[in-house]
């Protein structure tokens, strides 16, 4: 057995500079590749073919959750408590600080682990020659000296030099920024992360892992995580709440500073804790949990989410452009009745087509032709001297063969018009052949031209094979379901327009199918009209890769949120451009790398599931947003009014901390709540959200303020307690604490549905968590808590429950009235309100 080559760093880096023959000698390999044992030895020597990920110390990661504006506020409150010797406050506020850190750490870890587990399903494989046989090998197990096969659409898994081959086109944009693919031939160096755009070749690996060009320059191919429309809206709402908090707390501080005998330390600690309780501390965690739950639910349906925020984009998607073959159709081709030229038998033409095919890569067309051979053993009597695979530019394959008599000839199959162009008698047979092709197309059949060279080396057109790819049984139903959800489907295919129309008719999509060549022929003066045709078309035929990108671009410019499916390397630009790029089952590495969602099973039905799931997530986030704005208005505005009108703190800092712990702990489970699936694409309606939250917030303030006013000035027990303990904790503060806790959870139950709060039961996790929350707040109020919360007893607790339930009915009726204002009887006023909001926003 040969020993592995020397592995010094300098020599590893210089392998790319060696000529091909010297490289093969240096790596002690051959065109037959390595043995399994050699590969195993070299794997130990060179390590796995992967970039070492920077490992973050879990302790440092955990500590990072205590660094930032929100943790700083809590930490300052902790320091103030310790400075004044208020150890009870110190302990509880410290628990709040620790709790926020633990929740953030474990939820992000859980979400990250889920995504990584899903992405692991997309691990790349390579076709390598081991022990003289081509086998599938995990890309990370490639080693220098391996011989691997490359084909169109492959992402190169390692650095290497091309063996004897025709020139191939390599897209190195991810590494070098070159806008156009480059030609590479025998003995030339190619790099990990590049994409094969045309041709096929074999390559000897000379660089893996950190020793690749990709690794040394640290130009990662991985997509940069982008912030979606949905996340931007949530962040804006968070900033809005922080601004409200800052304004009202500033008012409190100024009012207290001008009061007599002000306790500055107590004031600052109170305001810091009040800020923590009112700003959306849990918002990032709730969003993360909701997205990871959605990704895991989609994984159960064999759809891998590679970018979590794409689930959010799906909720607003209002146009889906779908590939035909393998997505809307079965991609299970069958041969129909062939058309042959005079003197040519059907069996002879199928044999020639089979000789122009290649079985190793399991191409559906090649496999169908092979299956049509009466005697597959015939192929063994021919020697393939050279094979040129299909590519989107030439639109045909070509094989150079040698028969048993030693004579050489060529065979070719591909687009009928392309094959027809090869024949010297094209003008004589063109009319008849085109009529045959058109007849096939009208029946939904694809046509495949077949030709071979004669003794003189001239091409002879043999005939046309017909291939039928039937629609999937679930496609028509899936399209109907998508339309019900407000997402029309446009079919995009490279097939002829007549085939596209027939397939579109069978799927119930409509007959307005555009020939994509119009994109290249339309003058600039008519581009506006062309855009309108694209918007209203049911589908597109004879589409080139750049046409897909153009379709997405036009739709986006006209306000559509676009989903695009694809499977080929040339679909990657359109998948990346789309708001939701979806790589279908069997997609190339390049397509999967560019997509946001990768389907592992054929068909579109899982996309409908994804749309429904994303809208459920949107509804949960809307519910959380309404609750959070309402709660912020309630606690901040009420506290401000109480201080201004009654010159006293209506809550203690400890009570505010308890409210934050109880509310944020319960709200996490909204990620699992039951929701109704919206029938239309969802987008943020800020006038509606702010109006509903504002109205409910003011109602909650009125409810709490009224209770505080009555308890302070008209209930003797509370009045006497305030006189006895003017600066301490009083039962009235406990009554208000319980009131805010109960109203908060009741408001959550109201805003989670658009109808009456009882119209849809909550999910079990939400019901349990909110029940625990209100049970704890009730028990704390009834029995007190070590002098920090004064007990009010069962009577006042029962009164508070009844009082809050009455206000829940008022809150719920008001919510429904606001929705009616926007959507029903007063919809004209609702639209006028939105127009006013739009003008103010500008």
**Which active-site residues does the annotation give?**
323
How is residue 95 written in tokens?
Answer: 């628990």
How is residue 187 written in tokens?
Answer: 């003995």
Query: What sign has the CA pseudo-torsion 225, 228, 230, 232?
Result: positive
Interatomic CA distance for residues 194 and 175, integer angstroms: 7
Rounded (5°) CA angle 200-122-552: 75
In eight-state DSSP terms, residue 34 is B
Spatial contact of 33 and 130, defined as CB atoms under 8 Å apart = yes
Per-residue burial over 555-589, b = 16 or more CB atoms within 10 Å of its CB, e = otherwise: beeeebbbbbbbbbbbbbbbbbbbbbbbbbbbbbb
Spatial contact of 153 and 568, defined as CB atoms under 8 Å apart = yes
**Comparing C-alpha atoms, which of 754, 839, 757 is closest to residue 805?**
757
Q: Are strands 189-190 and 159-162 parallel, antiparallel or unpaired?
A: antiparallel
Q: Which helix (H) or strand (E) holds 711?
A: helix 686-714
Spatial contact of 77 and 269, defined as CB atoms under 8 Å apart = yes
Spatial contact of 324 and 457, defined as CB atoms under 8 Å apart = no
Q: What are phi and psi of 162, to 5 degrees?
A: -75, 135
Q: What are phi and psi of 539, to 5 degrees?
A: -175, 180
Specify burial of residue 456 (Cβ count, 10 A radius: 0-12, 13-18, 19+).
exposed
Rounded (5°) CA angle 145-148-150: 145
**Comparing C-alpha atoms, which of 616, 564, 47, 114 is closest to residue 315?**
616
Rounded (5°) CA angle 545-496-476: 90
Strands (E), 328-432: 334-335, 339-340, 383-388, 396-402, 408-414
Q: Which helix (H) or strand (E) holds 43?
A: helix 36-46
CA distances from 820 to 119, 714, 755, 807 (A): 44, 38, 10, 20
CA distances from 841 to 60, 155, 838 (A): 42, 46, 5
SS (H, E, C) 226-266: CCCHHHHHHHHHHHHHHHHHHHHHHHHHHHHHCCCCCCHHH
CA distances from 461 to 390, 403, 411 (A): 18, 20, 10
Q: Which helix (H) or strand (E) holds 449?
A: strand 445-453
In this structure, the number of other CB atoms found within 10 A of the CB of residue 829 comes to 11
Spatial contact of 329 and 461, defined as CB atoms under 8 Å apart = no
Query: DSSP labels for 676-692?
Result: PPPSS-----HHHHHHH
Interatomic CA distance for residues 471 and 451, integer angstroms: 29
Interatomic CA distance for residues 157 and 746, integer angstroms: 55
Q: What are phi and psi of 716, to 5 degrees?
A: -60, -40
**Comparing C-alpha atoms, which of 155, 157, 163 is closest to residue 196?**
155
SS (H, E, C) 528-556: HHHHHHHHHCCEEECCCHHHHHHHHHHHH
> Within its chain, how far is the Cα of 554 from the centroid?
22
Interatomic CA distance for residues 796 and 818, integer angstroms: 33
């Amino acid at each position: 057995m040969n020993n592995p080559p020397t592995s010094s760093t300098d020599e590893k880096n210089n392998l790319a500079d060696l000529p091909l023959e010297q490289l093969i000698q240096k790596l002690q390999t051959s065109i037959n590749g390595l043995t399994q044992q050699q590969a195993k030895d070299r794997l130990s020597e060179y390590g796995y073919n992967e970039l070492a990920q920077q490992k973050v110390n879990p302790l440092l990661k955990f500590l990072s959750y205590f660094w930032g504006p929100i943790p700083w506020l809590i930490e300052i409150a902790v320091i103030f408590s310790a400075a004044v010797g208020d150890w009870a406050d110190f302990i509880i506020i410290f628990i709040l600080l620790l709790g926020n850190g633990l929740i953030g750490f474990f939820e992000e870890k859980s979400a990250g682990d889920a995504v990584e587990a899903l992405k692991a399903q997309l691990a790349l494989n390579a076709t390598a020659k081991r022990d003289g046989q081509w086998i599938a090998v995990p890309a990370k197990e490639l080693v220098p000296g391996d011989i691997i096969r490359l084909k169109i659409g492959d992402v190169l898994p390692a650095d290497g030099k091309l063996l004897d081959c025709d020139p191939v086109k390599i897209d190195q944009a991810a590494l070098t920024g070159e806008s156009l693919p480059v030609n590479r031939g025998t003995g030339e160096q190619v790099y990990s992360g590049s994409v094969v755009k045309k041709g096929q070749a074999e390559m000897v690996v000379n660089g893996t892992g950190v020793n690749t060009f990709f690794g040394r320059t640290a130009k990662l191919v991985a997509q940069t995580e982008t912030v979606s429309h949905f996340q931007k809206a949530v962040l804006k709402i968070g900033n809005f709440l922080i601004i409200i908090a800052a304004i009202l707390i500033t008012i409190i501080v100024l009012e207290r500073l001008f009061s007599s005998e002000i306790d500055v330390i107590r004031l600052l600690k109170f305001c810091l804790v009040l800020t923590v309780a009112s700003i959306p501390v849990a918002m990032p965690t709730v969003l993360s949990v909701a997205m990871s739950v959605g990704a895991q639910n989609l994984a159960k349906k064999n759809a891998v989410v590679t970018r979590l925020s794409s689930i959010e984009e799906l909720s607003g998607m209002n146009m889906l452009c779908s590939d035909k073959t393998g997505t809307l159709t079965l991609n299970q081709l069958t041969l129909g009745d062939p058309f042959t030229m005079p003197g040519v038998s059907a069996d002879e033409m199928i044999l020639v087509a089979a000789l122009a095919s290649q079985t190793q890569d399991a191409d559906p067309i090649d496999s169908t032709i092979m299956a049509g051979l009466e005697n597959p053993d015939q192929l063994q009597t021919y020697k393939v001297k050279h094979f040129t695979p299909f590519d989107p530019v030439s639109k045909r394959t070509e094989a150079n063969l040698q028969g048993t008599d030693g004579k050489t000839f060529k065979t070719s199959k591909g687009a009928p018009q392309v094959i027809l162009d090869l024949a010297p008698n094209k003008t004589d047979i063109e009319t008849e052949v085109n009529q045959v092709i058109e007849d096939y197309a009208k029946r939904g059949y694809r046509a495949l031209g077949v030709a071979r060279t004669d003794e003189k080396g001239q091409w002879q057109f043999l005939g046309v094979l017909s291939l039928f790819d039937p629609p999937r049984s679930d496609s028509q139903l899936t399209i109907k379901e998508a339309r019900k959800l407000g997402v029309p489907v446009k079919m995009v295919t490279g097939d002829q327009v007549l085939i596209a129309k027939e397939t579109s008719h069978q799927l119930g999509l409509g007959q307005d199918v555009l020939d994509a060549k119009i994109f290249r022929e339309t003058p600039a003066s008519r581009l506006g009209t062309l855009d309108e045709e694209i918007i209203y078309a049911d589908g597109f035929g004879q589409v080139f890769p750049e046409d897909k990108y153009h379709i997405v671009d036009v739709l986006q410019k006209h306000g559509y949120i676009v989903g695009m499916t694809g499977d080929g390397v040339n679909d990657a630009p359109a998948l990346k451009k789309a708001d939701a790029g979806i790589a279908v089952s069997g997609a190339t590495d390049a397509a999967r790398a560019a997509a946001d969602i990768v389907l592992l099973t054929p068909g579109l039905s899982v996309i409908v599931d994804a749309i429904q799931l994303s809208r459920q997530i949107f509804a949960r986030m809307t519910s959380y947003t309404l609750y959070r704005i309402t709660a912020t208005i309630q606690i901040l505005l009420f506290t401000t009014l109480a201080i201004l009108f009654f010159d006293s703190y209506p809550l203690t800092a400890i009570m505010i901390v308890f409210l934050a712990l109880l509310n944020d702990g319960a709200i996490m489970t909204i990620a699992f709540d039951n929701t109704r699936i919206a029938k239309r694409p969802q987008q943020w309606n800020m006038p509606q959200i702010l109006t509903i939250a504002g109205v409910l917030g003011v109602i909650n303030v009125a409810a709490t303020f009224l209770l505080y006013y009555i308890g302070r000035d008209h209930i003797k027990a509370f009045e006497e307690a305030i006189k006895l303990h003017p600066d301490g904790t009083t039962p009235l503060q406990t009554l208000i604490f319980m009131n805010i806790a109960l109203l908060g959870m009741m408001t959550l139950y109201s805003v989670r549905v658009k109808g009456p709060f009882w119209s849809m039961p909550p999910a079990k996790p939400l019901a349990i968590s909110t029940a625990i929350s209100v049970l704890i707040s009730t028990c704390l109020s009834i029995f007190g808590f070590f002098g920090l919360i004064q007990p009010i007893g069962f009577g006042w607790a029962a009164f508070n429950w009844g009082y809050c339930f009455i206000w829940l009915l008022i809150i719920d009726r008001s919510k429904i009235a606001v929705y009616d204002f926007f959507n029903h009887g007063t919809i004209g006023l609702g639209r006028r309100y939105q127009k006013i909001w739009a003008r103010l926003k500008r």
